[in-house]
Amino acid sequence: FSHILTYSNTMRERTLIAVKPDGVQRRLVGQIIQRFELRGFKLVGLKMLQVSEDLLSRHYSQLTGKPFYPDLVKYMTSGPVVVMVWEGYNAVQTSRAMVGLTNPADAQAGTVRGDFIMFIGHLRNVVHASDSPEGAQKEIQLWFQGQELLNWDCCYHNITCEL
């Protein structure tokens, strides 16, 4: 049964996506949500907030020692972010592909970073996506309380295979 178990876990995989302050400033929230909706992912949590330095240091715990970390703090606390949890088949890997490479200059056309940013160096790249299922689980717990995530059924599941 192990392959079935793996398959069903992957079917209901969850990932954390955040529209960073530059994405909110540039009115890209709707466009980014639409891409995940159209791909068939299910929105199970959503909120807007001003990030604290404490939350950010826990979110980016592997980056706090990097030389660019102070700039990253300035960037990420410069305005509100919109953070969401999306659920569906292979959500983590697929959403990384939809978001594109970290440096927008290298990001492929068709990705969020490849479509909305020309070149601004590394920092302001509009969106965050969890990079592994374990990372996603950690980030979802960090940003959301359990009751803020909703389980709901897709009413046309039979036609689309959406969950």
Q: Judged by CB under 6 A, does residue 123 bind ligand IDP?
A: yes
Q: Judged by CB under 6 A, does residue 64 bind ligand IDP?
A: no
Among 125, 136, 139, 143, binds ligand IDP (CB under 6 A): 125
Confirm whether 128 is a catalytic residue. Answer: yes
CB within 8 Å of 16: residues ≥ 6 apart: 83, 84, 85, 128, 129, 130, 136, 139, 140, 143
Please check whether residue 42 is in contact with residue 86, taking contact to mean a CB–CB distance below 8 angstroms.
yes
Q: Which one of 40-48, 81-89, 123-131, 144-152 is the stretch in contact with ligand IDP (CB under 6 A)?
A: 123-131
- Tell me the one-letter amino acid at 8: S
Q: Which one of 7-15, 119-127, 142-150, 151-159 is the stretch in contact with ligand IDP (CB under 6 A)?
A: 119-127
Q: Judged by CB under 6 A, does residue 74 bind ligand IDP?
A: no
Burial class (CB in 10 A: 0-12, 13-18, 19+), 69: middle
Residues with catalytic function = 128
